[in-house]
Chains A and B, each alone.
Chain A
Amino acid sequence: MLSNITIGQYFPGNSILHRMDPRVKVLLLLLFLLEVFLFSNAVAYGIFSAITLVMMLLSGVPLCMLLRSLKPLWWIILFTFVIHLFSNPGTPIATVWLFTLTWEGIQMGCFISLRLILLILMSSLLTFTTSPLKLTDAMESLLSPFRRFGLPAHELAMMMTIALRFIPTLIEETDKIMKAQQSRGADFTTGNVMKRLRNMVPILVPLFLSAFRRADELAMAMEARCYRGGIGRTQMKSLKTGGIDYLAIGGFVILTAALLGIKLST
């Protein structure tokens, strides 16, 4: 029951987006999201939507998978849309009890919902086309300038790596402990919430104990292999910024310039 969990939602492939330097992807995504907030005219949103659509097609990830990432946030999008329909003053179209539906409200609702959808789609494109390991490397590299302010960039990345390595192992172990407890009559499926939570204790205690033991042994194994923190460490798969990345950065600069132009001319 626990064995079919996958970490993240990486979709293996070899598209342009897959081959991009993860650091460039993360940075461009952050800037893109910022621009989505800054430029809120109709032309800009048309351009944003077009770009998102092109990216989705370029990624080689099945469209239904991408759209499924909207599912958990569907209610928030709908809720925001409805709120905006009735809360904007302007030309009234219809009145329901205390609420007035306005033309401006419909416009605003569409804008905000589109904004949310773009945010979600673009962010999930990043996680669909970048493996968790590459994301970790990108995080370490991007955060390393902040090391001089005391941010433990290497340690954070190492923690992520070890977590990714041990999640499947610990899930397997949880499964084993659950079966062991069930075979001795433990019941995890009936009773109210409080009772079920209390029944989790016999799973969590052995799981934690074993996790600490593993941590101890792992630390010893790491030390035996000359690990002494991030200082003087190199990487076999060092991240490289290539042609595609410069192209993407160039494209992004042009986009920003065009958006600024539109904004200033209106």
Chain B
Amino acid sequence: MSFIEFHDLTHCYNLGQKNEHRAIDGLDLSIEKGSFTAILGQNGSGKSTLAKHINGLLLPTSGICLVDGKDTRNLEELWQIRRQVGMVFQNPDNQLIAAVVEDDVAFGPENLGLEPQVIRAKVDEALKAVNMTKYKNFAPHLLSGGQKQRIAIAGALAMDTECLVLDEPTAMLDPQGRAEVLRTVRKLHEERGITIVYITHFMEEAAVADRVVLMDSGRAAADGTPREIFADVPGMKKRGLDVPLAAEVSWQLRRQGIKLPDGIITEDELVEALEAYTCQSN
């Protein structure tokens, strides 16, 4: 069984009212333990709604959402699910609760009712994992956006989370902060095998995932490796989405009759392919 499973999941906002909105519409999706899944889609395609189902912040209108075999509608198990699944939201300011960094990281374990010395050990360990130990006595408003997001990640780690759901964590950050957050997430994925569900608008970020799910009008419109998804440049454009720059360039070159291999999505791969091409033609 997969770690996260959605079976025929539907979610409606304002159910039964005039402005009823069906954000997720009969979605079937499963996410394996230890995988790194990127979720792409336009605004309003149901990405954030999907993310909030994974730790029971929203409950399905119909269908089932299972996390590690536990139903999110089961109130007894909801707290266990929230402990296993950590969330990081878009706005770095609106998810830090305490006025000191280490107190904020301790917020989760404190809610679980752990012993003070156990909490201290978990907090120190979590701050080390996101490389923020030296900022532990800072006030959050003195940190950069990227640092705040890393503190939010540490807050989830301190609760021994097995899965991180990140809902556009880099949308409000500068390029440097974006790189910091992505580097931290990849490190946690590789070193600790934490399952990652990463919602983003940046195609370069999605390119590092093992799997890309494309959301469109509340359904999974496409699902595959980044190479498979980004190979379909016209299809992506039709859905109003970009592809990584390297994929776009190689697609345009192929259209001009320059023979490049399929499945180029990173800049390094493009450079290599172009070098091979120029050697060949000389």
**Are B97 and A226 closer than 8 Å at their CB atoms?**
no
Interchain nearest-CB distance for B92 vs A (Å): 11
Please name 26 pairs of A and B residues whose Cβ atoms are closer than 8 Å in the assembled complex, sorted by A.
A133-B98, A133-B103, A161-B99, A165-B96, A165-B99, A169-B93, A214-B93, A220-B57, A221-B152, A222-B107, A223-B57, A225-B82, A225-B111, A225-B155, A225-B156, A226-B82, A226-B111, A227-B111, A228-B111, A232-B113, A233-B110, A234-B110, A234-B116, A235-B116, A237-B116, A238-B116
Contact of A218 among B97, B103, B111 (CB under 8 A): B97
B50 within 8 Å of A (CB atoms): no
Assembly CA distance A224 to B107 (angstroms): 11
Asked if B115 is at the interface of the complex by the 8 Å CB criterion, the answer is yes
Do A162 and B97 touch (CB < 8 A)?
yes
Top 9 A-B residue pairs of the complex, sorted by shortest distance between their CB atoms: A221-B95, A217-B94, A236-B106, A236-B119, A224-B87, A168-B141, A226-B111, A225-B108, A165-B99
Q: State whether A226 touches B159 (Cβ < 8 A).
A: yes
* Chain B residues within 8 Å of A223, by CB: 57, 82
Q: What 9 additional pairs, Cβ within 8 angstroms, besides A169-B93, A236-B116?
A: A133-B99, A172-B141, A217-B91, A220-B52, A224-B55, A224-B57, A226-B108, A226-B111, A236-B103
Instruction: For B115, list chain A residues within 8 Å (CB).
Output: 234
**Are B97 and A236 closer than 8 Å at their CB atoms?**
no
- Minimum CB distance partner of B93 in chain A: A169
Q: Which of A169-204 contact B (CB under 8 A)?
A: 169, 172
Q: Does B140 contact A (CB under 8 A)?
A: yes
Q: Do A226 and B87 touch (CB < 8 A)?
A: no
Report A-chain residues with C-beta under 8 Å of the C-beta of B109.
236
**How far apart are the CA atoms of A69 and B99 in the complex, in Å?**
25
B99 x A227 contact (CB < 8 A):
no
- Whether B97 pairs with A222 at a CB distance below 8 angstroms is yes
- Alpha-carbon distance between A210 and B80 when the two chains are bound, in angstroms: 32
Please, how many angstroms separate the alpha-carbon atoms of A237 and B108 in the complex? Answer: 14
**B110 with A224: CB separation less than 8 A:** no
Q: Is A164 an interface residue (CB 8 A)?
A: yes
* Chain B residues proximal to chain A, CB less than 8 Å: 52, 55, 57, 79, 82-83, 86-87, 89, 91, 93-100, 102-103, 106-116, 119-120, 123, 139-141, 152, 155-156, 159
Q: Is A217 touching B95 in the complex (CB atoms < 8 A)?
A: yes
Residues in B with CB closer than 8 Å to A225 are 82, 86, 97, 107-108, 111, 155-156, 159
Chain B residues whose CB sits within 8 angstroms of the CB of A132 once the complex forms: 99
B140 CB contacts on chain A under 8 angstroms: 165
Chain A: minimal CB distance from B107 (Å): 6
Q: B94 and A218: CB pair below 8 A?
A: yes
B85 to chain A, nearest CB (A): 8
* Docked complex Cα distance between A228 and B100 (Å): 21
Report how many A-B pairs have Cβ atoms within 8 Å. 95
The answer to whether B113 touches A221 (Cβ under 8 A) is no
Cβ contacts under 8 Å, A235 to chain B? 106, 110, 116
Residue numbers in A under 8 Å from B114 (CB-CB): 234
**Pairwise interchain contact B97-A221, C-beta atoms closer than 8 A:** yes
User: Residue B87 contacts which of A162, A164, A221, A233 (CB distance < 8 angstroms)?
Assistant: A221
Given A235-B110, A236-B110, A237-B103: A218 in contact with B95 (beta carbons within 8 A): yes
For residue B135, give the distance in angstroms from its CB to the closest CB of chain A: 15
A interface residue numbers (CB < 8 A to B)? 132-133, 161-162, 164-165, 168-169, 172, 213-214, 217-218, 220-228, 232-238
Task: Determine how close the nearest CB of chain A comes to the CB of B250; give it in whole angstroms.
Answer: 40
A residues less than 8 Å from B83 (CB atoms): 226
Whole-angstrom CA separation of A223 from B86 in the bound complex: 11
Residues of B within 8 A of A226 (CB): 79, 82-83, 108, 111-112, 159
For the complex formed, measure the closest distance between the CB of B164 and the CB atoms of chain A, giving whole angstroms.
11
Residues of B within 8 A of A238 (CB): 116
Name the distance in Å between B186's Cβ and chain A's nearest Cβ: 22
Indicate if the CB atoms of B119 and A234 lie closer than 8 Å: yes
Flag if B113 contacts A164 (CB, 8 Å). Answer: no
Contacts of A217 in B (CB 8 A): 89, 91, 94-95
A3 to B233, CA, bound (A): 48
| Nearest-CB residue, chain B, relative to A132 | B99
Complex-state Cα separation, A221 to B92, whole angstroms = 11
Closest to A216 in B: B94
Given A224-B87, A235-B110, A237-B116, A161 and B97 contact (CB-CB distance below 8 Å):
yes
A236 pairs with B123, CB closer than 8 A: yes
Which of B108, B123, B139, B141 has the most chain A CB atoms inside 10 A of its CB?
B141
CB nearest neighbor in B for A226 = B111
Set of chain A residues within 8 Å of B86, measured between Cβ atoms: 224-225
Contact partners of A232 in chain B: CB under 8 A: 113
Verify A168–B119 contact, CB threshold 8 A. Answer: no
A62 to B277, CA, bound (A): 74
Assembled-state Cα–Cα distance A224/B156 (Å): 9
